[in-house]
């Protein structure tokens, strides 16, 4: 039946027609995880008893005709979404044994729809990384080439969906952590407008940048999940009341394509971009041109300042957010501390990994009394300028197309010793987070046998628009349906 290749809509139809039960579907994907994940390391926790218990409840709802469209369909959650009764580690020794007493809003919304949690996916520690190599539980492999990284920090979610170990997964995007792994693994990944998806129960890295979203094979599946997880939440002070206006309906009419203008920022197609990737994106733009879309060159002049501004802001917020892990309240605690100062220092030294420590130190330095204005405040001013650049561009165009990454997936270990080179892999994704805008990365082809992604960026709360444009492309192409050869069998 090739269930692993089916979309969310197709899986829902199978369940509603009672061709397969939720228990059977859950067991099917758990068997795939058992068979394949030993080579990928995409999951940190798989609680089979919990999954089967949810599937049994789903089957009862289906039998009583009380099910929703998503009832009984499996999903995987990035291991920074709090899950009641299930380990939530953030891929860190600091939270290695932490079991939350509550669900994140995203998780509870999907549970209320009757979805079945397969497990918690691997990630960069506390979401700090671009390659999924900083996890306390080991690196994640890319299903297209096991010697390469899947991207980060949502690399576990991306790897699991790309290998079809889960039909869909949640991720988080602070500087590209949904879109970059989507690009590396040949998936569709949506980073919603900041404030569209509740951060309640999502363990914080950088509070003004973090945003939850879906990783899936198609824009259609992303739209289905986004419509459930979006919405105002009183528990999240950064939740935006305007969210009610961004429901997604995939109904873009071909007759309207000629009235849609798309901007191509000249700064994004520079020497930083691999020529092979540029060629693949040019071919995909050709598909859009045949559909009738109009293209126009635009400028985002402050693009070169995004990486330094992003890493100062993100590290500053991380140093503040991670101060709660001190060995007193919860999480890891060092053994036999001599005094309170020793408890704090050794707990943090032993509990945090190298990348997390580095970013905490950068952030603490940027926030220190002598350098606060010089670094942090200046970065905030640059952030405002970058957002203004985008808003000015949207006065002339409806959407912006851009590469997702300057290269395809790189080798495991290739960039771990060069922090700057690693950080530059986010050069095309971080501006969107700084501006708070929505963007979706879609697969548009291959370069050297590895997937290539392209971003579609929209104005505030225009998830409907960017997903419709993505869906239009995916109706004309089949890049999103490609499955890595090693995992393309039952």
Domain parsing of the chain, residue ranges:
3-256+398-487, 304-378
pLDDT at 81: 98
Strands of the 212-216 sheet, one edge to the other? 43-45, 116-121, 74-78, 169-172, 212-216, 188-191, 439-447, 450-457, 399-403, 261-265, 294-298
For the purposes of burial, counting CB atoms within 10 Å of the CB of 249, is it exposed (0-12), middle (13-18) or buried (19 or more)?
exposed
**DSSP secondary structure code for residue 413 in this structure:** T
For the chain, which residues score pLDDT lower than 70? none
Catalytic residue list contains 278: no
Chain Cα centroid distance, residue 263 = 24
pLDDT at 121: 98
pLDDT at 112: 98
Report the C-alpha gap between 300 and 361 in whole angstroms: 31
**Contact (CB, 8 A) for 454 and 405:** no
pLDDT at 253: 83
What backbone phi and psi angles, to 5 degrees, belong to 450?
-115, 145
Instruction: Kindly state the tokens that stand for 477.
Output: 């192409």
User: Choosing from 78, 109, 141, 148, which is the catalytic residue?
Assistant: 78
Helix axes 463-476, 275-291, angle to 10 degrees: 90
Instruction: Enumerate the H helices of 17-47 as residue ranges.
Output: 22-40
Classify domain 3-256+398-487 by CATH number.
Answer: 3.90.1300.10
Catalytic residue list contains 177: yes
User: Choosing from 153, 166, 239, 425, which is the catalytic residue?
Assistant: 153
pLDDT at 442: 98
Catalytic residue list contains 134: no
Give the residues across from 74 on adjacent strands. 116
Report the C-alpha gap between 355 and 360 in whole angstroms: 9
Return all residues near 208 (Cβ < 8 A) that are at least 6 apart: 194, 238, 313, 317
Residues 250/255/256/257 CA torsion (nearest 10 deg): 90
pTM: 0.97
Give the residues across from 403 on adjacent strands. 454
pLDDT at 272: 75
User: Choosing from 7, 172, 177, 239, which is the catalytic residue?
Assistant: 177
């Amino acid at each position: 039946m090739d269930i692993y290749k089916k979309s969310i809509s197709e899986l829902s139809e199978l369940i509603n027609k009672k061709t397969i039960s939720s228990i059977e579907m859950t067991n099917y994907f758990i068997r795939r995880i058992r068979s394949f994940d030993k080579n990928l390391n995409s999951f940190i926790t798989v609680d089979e008893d919990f999954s089967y218990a949810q599937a049994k409840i789903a089957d009862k709802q289906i039998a009583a005709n009380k099910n929703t469209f998503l009832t009984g369909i499996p999903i995987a959650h990035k291991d920074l979404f709090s899950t009641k009764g299930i380990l939530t580690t953030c891929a860190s020794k600091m939270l290695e044994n932490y079991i939350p007493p509550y669900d994140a809003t995203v998780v509870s919304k999907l549970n209320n729809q009757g979805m079945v949690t397969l497990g918690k996916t691997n990630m960069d520690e506390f979401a700090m990384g671009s390659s999924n190599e900083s996890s306390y539980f080991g690196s994640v492999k890319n299903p297209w080439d096991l010697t390469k990284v899947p991207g980060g920090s949502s690399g576990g979610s991306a790897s699991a969906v790309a290998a079809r170990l889960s039909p869909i997964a949640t991720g988080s995007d602070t500087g590209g952590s949904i879109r970059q792994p989507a690009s590396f693994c040949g998936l569709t990944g949506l980073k919603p407008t900041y404030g569209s998806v509740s951060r309640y129960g999502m363990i914080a890295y950088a509070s003004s940048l973090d945003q939850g979203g879906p990783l899936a094979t198609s824009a259609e599946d992303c739209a289905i999940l986004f419509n459930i997880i979006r919405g105002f939440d009183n528990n999240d002070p950064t939740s935006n009341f305007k969210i009610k206006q961004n429901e997604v309906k995939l109904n873009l009419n071909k007759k309207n394509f000629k009235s849609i203008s798309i901007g191509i920022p000249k700064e994004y197609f520079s020497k930083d971009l691999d020529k092979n990737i540029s060629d693949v994106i040019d071919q995909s733009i050709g598909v859009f041109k045949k559909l009738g879309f109009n293209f126009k060159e635009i400028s985002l002049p402050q693009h070169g300042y995004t990486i330094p501004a992003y890493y100062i802001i993100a590290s500053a917020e991380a140093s503040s957010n991670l101060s709660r892990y001190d060995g007193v309240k919860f999480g890891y605690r060092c053994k036999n501390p001599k005094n309170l100062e020793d408890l704090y220092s050794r707990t943090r030294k032993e509990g945090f990994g190298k990348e997390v420590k580095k970013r905490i130190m950068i952030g603490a330095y940027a926030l220190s009394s002598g350098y606060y204005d010089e670094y942090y405040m200046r970065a905030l001013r640059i952030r405002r300028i970058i957002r203004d650049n985008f808003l000015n561009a949207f006065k002339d165009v409806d959407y912006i197309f851009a590469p997702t990454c300057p290269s395809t997936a790189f080798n495991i270990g290739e960039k771990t010793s060069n922090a700057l080179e690693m950080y530059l892999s986010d050069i095309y994704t971080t501006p969107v987070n700084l501006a708070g805008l929505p963007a979706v990365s879609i697969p548009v082809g291959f370069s050297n046998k590895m997937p290539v992604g392209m971003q579609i960026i929209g104005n505030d709360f225009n998830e409907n628009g960017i997903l419709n444009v993505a869906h239009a492309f995916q109706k004309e192409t089949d890049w999103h349906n490609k499955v890595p050869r090693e995992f393309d069998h039952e």
